[in-house]
């Protein structure tokens, strides 16, 4: 009984500290304003077809609306240190304190082949952002050997303040990965990556709006997501959290909250989070 209460309390805590990832499409700003309260943390992905400008523009507008906006600075989309400095100066001037630094899916545009190289230059530029997130991979990366992802995370720990886990649908994989992460001495706080409730038809329609080349990458990258979310009795965030919660309740797990991949299905995601919180809170 005590373990169940602890697991429920962990779920409530994670849901209360959830942030939303969105793509910089034309309608997402209005959608957020209608359905998500200011003060919420919203991360803005980097779109290879739209360029980093779309990410930075939306980030600035969300900051002005009162959101805690976090731009994705995809390393392969930044030309060189001069451009990186311009980006930093622009964001700091708008009050941005958090960034997320992935390698990115785009072809390399300049001097940064990966996230680590950009993180090193951020350090050389005086560490302008107090909070810097990096990606963790509970499952194998499609293009990077597992040994390299482990070494990369170890190398990046000097420059980052937290880790955002990539998607996995297997609670056992996630729980085991968190334990291995901590046993290797990686102690940074973790945000648990989880997909929001997604309607497959809406997701496919949204993907067609983000550019032909990018849509192809998007669909290829998330085809497993579609299959699991569409299958009868398939993946649900609630069951995933329930099964992960015991491992995440451990004091040394250091899981601070959720990073919810909304796929721009923001209304359904926020409704799901609020409903689950309402059902869980009385028993936590």
Whole-model pTM: value is 0.88
Residue of 210 and 40 predicted with greater confidence: 40
Give me the chain's average pLDDT, please: 86
List domains and CATH numbers for the chain. 2-275 (3.20.20.220)
Per-residue pLDDT of 66-93, as tens digits, reads: 999 999 999 999 999 999 999 999 999 9
The pLDDT value given to residue 6? 84
- The yes-or-no verdict on residue 101 having pLDDT over 70 is yes
Classify 79 in phi/psi space as left (phi over 0), alpha (psi -120 to 50) or beta: alpha
Please report the pLDDT score of residue 195 as a whole number. Answer: 85
Please say whether the beta carbons of 54 and 24 come within 8 A: yes
- The reported pLDDT for the residue numbered 148 is 63
Characterize 23-49 residue by residue with b for buried, 16 or more Cβ atoms within 10 angstroms of its Cβ, and e for exposed. Answer: bbbeebbebbeeebeeebbbbbbbbbe
Task: Lowest mean pLDDT of 38-42, 60-64, 164-168, name the range.
Answer: 164-168
Residue 229 pLDDT grade (very low, low, confident, very high; cuts 50, 70, 90): low
The percent of the chain in helix, strand and coil, each rounded to the nearest 5, is: 50, 15, 35
Q: What pLDDT does 93 receive?
A: 98
Q: Are the C-beta atoms of residues 159 and 130 closer than 8 Å to each other?
A: no
* 210 contact partners, CB below 8 Å, separation of at least 6: 23, 25, 47, 49, 50, 218
pLDDT of residue 184: 82
Q: Is the pLDDT of residue 1 over 90?
A: no
- Choose between 117 and 238: higher pLDDT: 117
**Which region, left, alpha or beta, applies to residue 32 given φ > 0 means left and ψ of -120 to 50 means alpha?**
alpha
* 45-55 pLDDT, tens digit each: 998 888 999 99
> CB atoms < 10 A from the CB of 232, how many?
4
Q: What percent of the chain has pLDDT over 70?
A: 80
Residue 235 has pLDDT above 70, yes or no: no
Cα distances (angstroms) measured from residue 282 to each of 14, 261, 277, 278:
15, 27, 9, 7
Above 60 in pLDDT, residue 144? no
């Amino acid at each position: 009984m005590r373990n169940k209460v602890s697991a429920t309390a962990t779920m409530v805590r994670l849901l209360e500290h959830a942030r939303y990832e969105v793509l910089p499409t034309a309608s997402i700003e209005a959608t957020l304003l209608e359905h998500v309260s200011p003060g919420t943390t919203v991360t803005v992905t980097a779109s290879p077809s739209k360029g980093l400008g779309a990410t930075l523009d939306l980030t600035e507008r969300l900051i002005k609306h009162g959101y805690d906006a976090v731009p994705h600075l995809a390393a392969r989309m930044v030309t060189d240190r001069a451009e990186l400095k311009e980006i930093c100066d622009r964001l700091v001037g708008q009050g941005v304190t958090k960034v997320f630094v992935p390698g990115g899916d785009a072809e390399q545009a300049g001097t940064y082949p990966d996230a680590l190289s950009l993180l090193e230059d951020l350090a050389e530029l005086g560490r302008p952002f107090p909070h810097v997130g990096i990606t963790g991979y509970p499952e194998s990366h499609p293009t990077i050997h597992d040994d390299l992802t482990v070494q990369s995370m170890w190398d990046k720990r000097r420059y980052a303040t937290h880790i955002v886990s990539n998607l996995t649908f297997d609670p056992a994989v996630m729980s085991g990965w968190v334990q291995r992460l901590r046993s290797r001495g990686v102690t940074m706080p973790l945000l648990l990556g989880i997909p929001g409730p997604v309607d497959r038809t809406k997701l496919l329609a949204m993907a067609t709006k983000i550019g032909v080349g990018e849509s192809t990458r998007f669909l290829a990258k998330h085809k497993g997501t579609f299959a699991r979310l569409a299958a009868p009795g398939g993946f649900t965030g609630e069951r995933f959290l329930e099964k992960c919660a015991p491992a995440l309740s451990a004091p040394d797990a250091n899981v601070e909250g959720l990073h919810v991949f909304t796929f721009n299905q923001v209304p359904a995601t926020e409704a799901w989070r609020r409903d689950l919180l309402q059902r869980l809170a009385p028993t936590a």
